Structure 1
Amino acid sequence: MSRTALVTGGSRGIGAAIALRLAQEGVDVAITYVRDEEAAQEVVRKIEAAGQRAVALRADAADAEAAGSVVGRAVDALGSPGSLDILVNNAGVGVLGPIGTLSADDVDRALAVNVRAVFLASQTAAARMERGGRIVSVGTCMTKYVPGPGGTLYAMSKAALIGLTKALARELGDRGITANLIHPGPIDTGMNPADGPYADPQKASTALGRFGTPDEVASLVAYVTSDEAAYITGAELSVDGGHAA
């Protein structure tokens, strides 16, 4: 029987690439989306074309109830026997701007999506995982090096995932479940294109002088969720082109 995975925020960009790569590795995949159902269904079609089962679930990570219940919805939709093998906490928001311009609502939104939703999904997944389960969260290179102003709230919210990941690794290790955190650098997506107006400073901040691709992030996720990575847990793994070098 195929393994099952839930990739939050899997309708586009890095999330879509992760979902498709897992399907290529023989995994049935549920993805979540908030607004763009058409894009989500296109990812589903591609996963099914790879020979795996797929489903797109509307779930707003900012909603605590939705964030906590989506694991069960994914398990039920994929028809797996009550369990989930892989959780990829990819959904996130980039709330950026000078610290003086950020409102309390901005803080609440960033923490709700980037921290609370990750905790709730991980909590629920841990209860549904058997030995060998994998939890992977997507952080940011800005937890290692912030190249300029405007990133206080975003960096703070993603830095919380470091403590969460290490604690999950300790708490779930005796069950053979691993928890790891991946820090992407500048990645060429629709939200942050490699030819966009803010691209040149980002390229200059990397050792390789270029943006990464969603597929390069997905390849690392595929590895840490594989059997070969069973001894890797509590780790922070960067795919950032040397942004923190």
Structure 2
Amino acid sequence: MPGKSAVVKSGTGFRTECETRVAGQDWAALARELDEHGHALTGPLLSPEECRAIAELYDHEQLFRSTIDMSRHRFGSGQYRYFTHDLPETVRDLRAAFYPNLLPIARDWATKLGRPGTWPDQLDDWIAQCHRAGQSKSAQILLRYGPGDWNALHRDLFGDMIFPLQVVIGLDVPGTDYTGGEFLMVEQRPRAQSRGAAMPLPQGHGLIFTTRDRPVRSTRGWSAAPMRHGVSTIRSGHRRTLGLVFHDA
């Protein structure tokens, strides 16, 4: 089946290849980048062949619960599909591998902002809490953009149960498979004009970014700087990405 994930033996038992790759990232450096900018680029997570296999899942309609036409909803232009809860193995394993590594950062941010940081150690337990609160729809997505498509600046807030970080993984090669299509982030700064960033997303790499805001130091301690994300206009070719969200809708 497309998206199948290998299992390897580690010193502490069996783990998926995805877990090995995610755990092998420089998490101290990623945490510093997230603290300073609200986003951080990982090293390689998927091979070109794995990227193509995931991108090709888009045509397997039975894997998805809904399809969104972005222009119809005034979100921009392009299309994306939400997976069902029966996730392909690689998608499932990547999401599960990221959660324990993102959890310490999420809890640190919650402490700084005076918010409850009570996410459980296990992703399944957290998702169960989302479902009990009425957020029971899968939020994992495949996105597909063509020439002229773009994604409006937004935040992925689907209810009261929120995990503050998410991940997007590039499935195509910028500058070769498509031009344009930079990942955009805009930070609203207190009593100042907004600050923006535009980043190409290398194939197989992940960009970790804030779901809604990041903690910033202020004269009174810490405050929340709201942040939104989007995608610049695709000038040529096709851009496909995998989105990993750690709360359900």
Q: Which has the higher helix share?
A: 1
Same fold (TM over 0.5): no
